[in-house]
Structure 1
Amino acid sequence: MASDPQRVTLAKVAESAGVSVATVSKVINGRPDVAQQTRDKVLELLRSYNYGGNRDDLRAHPTVELFFGFERLSIYHTEVIQSVADAGAREGVAVVVSRRGDHDPAADPAAWARGLAAAGRRAVIAVTANPLSRPILEALNRVRLPVVLLDPESLPDSSIVSVGATNFAGGHAAATHLLSLGHRRIAYLGGTEHAWSNQARLHGFRSAMVAHGAPILDELVRHAGTFHAAEGIEHGGRLLDLSSPPTAVFASSDELAAGIIEAARRRGLRVPEDLSVVGFDNTPLAQVTSPPLTTIHGPVREMGAVALRTALQLAAGETIDSYHVELATQLVVRESTRPPGD
């Protein structure tokens, strides 16, 4: 049934499959709301018509899937999207964004991978809280789609390519800054407790505290469960309601830090006069909080560019320099920190 791919239309595929053009479009775009039997039939026709990754227009205009393993995206995630999209524009690559709320690869890894391949994807960049399962990785490998993990929250397998940041160094820099100002009763508010990035930031924080002989009190180390502002308000409030509250808090995201600032405001506390706050990521939010937020700059733009470039290298069968890249973080001092009691 081979045919000239330039003359094949979605209407022809739909007619052959006995379905609507909309259904064929859903299959091509990896939408989950198509019966498996129908999906398999459409995919087989697409392959037989040579419709997909072998077409000249797809080679000229490659696409990369940017998949988020979350149903709810944060301000940080929008920065990731911007970084990968900007890198794609420079490379002449289209970036298609999807999330777990749109697709759940774990439900049927093979169908998800086939849908991406049929839609002409050249590679997958994944941002997830949990490692991609072995069935998902195997399914992507079967359709020859390389995957790059971007800022993984869990420590990836050594055979999986990942691009991240120096989270330990960032946590160390945040604590060192507060200690240099004279703070000793410093709290840490993390996000997802067992996330690799969260643990690395906490370990960096602990390392700096130990090096300066400052106490690390269990009551001052909390994990909010997510990196969102609402949890910063709740868990930051619990820290501030202690009988001996902290004089400073290091939060493992800018959103958590913004929540802590709001929790302080609700209690009549001033930042930084009564409480110093440091965030992490240096998202645009850090510049519009009141006061502007001292934070750790995460190299999001650079990570997006490296992830996209690496994904394209893998798709082209090229050798890459490293399977795991960590880009440097940097302290950005603004107005949310000062010495205690000033």
Structure 2
Amino acid sequence: MARATVRDVAAETGLSIATVSRVLNGQANVAEHTRELVLRAVERLGAQAPRPRSRTRPGAVHVRCPYLLTDYFGLIVTSVAEELSKHGRRVVLDAGTSAQKASVLPSLGSGDVAGAVLVLPPEPAEQLVRLRDRKFPFVVVDPRTELPRDVAAVSAAHFAGARKLVAHLVELGHRRIGVLGGPRDWLASDSRAAGYAAALADVGVLPSPELLRHVDEPTEENGYLAARDVLELRERPTALVAFNDKMAVGALRAARERGLSVPGDVSIAGFDDLDLSRATTPELTTVRQPVREMGRLAVTLLLRLLDRYEVDALHVELATELVVRGSTGPAR
């Protein structure tokens, strides 16, 4: 059978020669039903027309998480690696606190690395914008700072989760609520603080600055120190909300040292719903983040970018869920 030409395919489908050429050259600006129409015509004409070129960028995926891979970060990185493996992508892992010492962003795009997943990157937004301007595909998981709308990012609904948590405490009669916040320069800290304030504002209460503490690193020890400080106030809070479950565990220790019962004297709640939250006595009321799904969705977004598809929803927030357990109760 004679070789089918682009003109033959155009005549067969009723499409323009330019449209058929875009399909056969693997360009992205073609509707999916049009692409299928052309490929079926090619098959009917004897499959002698040129095959569409692959649009997928080949190469490995750089996964950067400059933190210890325990609990929260470990779950994200594991889900990212597992999802990439399903798609046959090799992973180049850069993890651990030592990875904070030097940014790898300027070097991304060289060698056989096709794209990247960046977990809570410590670099300023300007560096991420420069990486975007180089047309290098990447997705940010849990961004530290506010990002432009055209930088792909996946996060949890921090504001909504924090608002639900404090609304739960408000329903129990709490009005004097201490906040053990995370690092001041983390976007999640700001979003959660705004959620706490919104729930209090719903009942006409303004947050008290004396009840707010921020830590440089959200660890159990820092949660203990921050909670101890707040619980020493002359008019102590009736409830404490911590940036994460680790800090909430520290707050439980601080309450026990002062002879306070939980939740009888003070209610304590965390955030993340790690396994740790179910290993305490009492078990922690917390906000469940879809941590594994964040990693999987980041890979889905990245693969679409690597396939050179246009992605409309570049900023994706996944819903959180309030999990009520024994560490919260009615205010005295």
Q: Is TM (by shorter chain) over 0.5?
A: yes
Counterpart position of 1:121: 113
Task: Return the letter of the residue paired with 1:247.
Answer: T
Q: How far apart are residue 109 of structure 1 and its match?
A: 4.6
Task: Return the letter of the residue paired with 1:87.
Answer: E
Equivalent residues in 2 for 1:98-137, closer than 5 Å: 98-99=94-95, 101-103=97-99, 109-110=105-106, 112-113=107-108, 117-118=110-111, 120-128=112-120, 130-132=122-124, 134-135=126-127
Alpha-carbon spacing, 1:334–1:96, altered in 2? closer, same or farther (3 Å) = farther
Alpha-carbon spacing, 1:84–1:176, altered in 2? closer, same or farther (3 Å) = same
Counterpart position of 2:258: 267
Alpha-carbon spacing, 1:92–1:234, altered in 2? closer, same or farther (3 Å) = same
Segments of structure 2 that go 5 or more residues without pairing to the other structure are: 1-56
Alpha-carbon spacing, 1:221–1:102, altered in 2? closer, same or farther (3 Å) = closer
Q: How far apart are residue 334 of structure 1 and its match?
A: 1.1
Q: How far apart are residue 81 of structure 1 and its match?
A: 1.6
1:99-129 CA distances to partner (integer Å, 9 max, x unpaired)?
Answer: 364445855754x325xx42x3321111235
Counterpart position of 1:201: 192
Task: Return the letter of the residue paired with 2:64.
Answer: F
Counterpart position of 1:66: 63
Counterpart position of 1:231: 222
Q: How far apart are residue 166 of structure 1 and its match?
A: 1.0
Q: Say whether 1:153 aligns with 2:153.
A: no
RMSD between aligned residues: 2.4
Stretch of structure 1 that moved more, 192-201 or 74-83: 74-83
Return the match for 1:287 from 255, 260, 278.
Answer: 278
> Take 2:194 and 2:266, find their aligned partners in 1: how far apart are those partners?
22
Stretch of structure 1 that moved more, 81-90 or 253-262: 81-90
Equivalent residues in 2 for 1:83-94, closer than 5 Å: 83-94=79-90
Equivalent residues in 2 for 1:15-54, closer than 5 Å: none
Q: Say whether 1:96 aligns with 2:92.
A: yes
| Percent identity (aligned) | 33
Return the match for 2:311 from 289, 305, 320.
Answer: 320
Secondary structure of the residue aligned to 2:145 is coil
Q: How many positions carry a matched residue from both structures?
A: 276
Q: How far apart are residue 89 of structure 1 and its match?
A: 3.9
TM-score, scaled relative to structure 2: 0.76
Judge conservation of contact 1:172–1:207 (CA < 8 Å) in 2: yes
Secondary structure of the residue aligned to 1:78 is helix
Task: Return the letter of the residue paired with 2:313.
Answer: S
> Take 2:252 and 2:138, find their aligned partners in 1: how far apart are those partners?
38
TM-score, scaled relative to structure 1: 0.74
Task: Return the letter of the residue paired with 1:336.
Answer: S
Q: How far apart are residue 180 of structure 1 and its match?
A: 0.7
1:252-278 CA distances to partner (integer Å, 9 max, x unpaired)?
Answer: 211111111111122222222221111
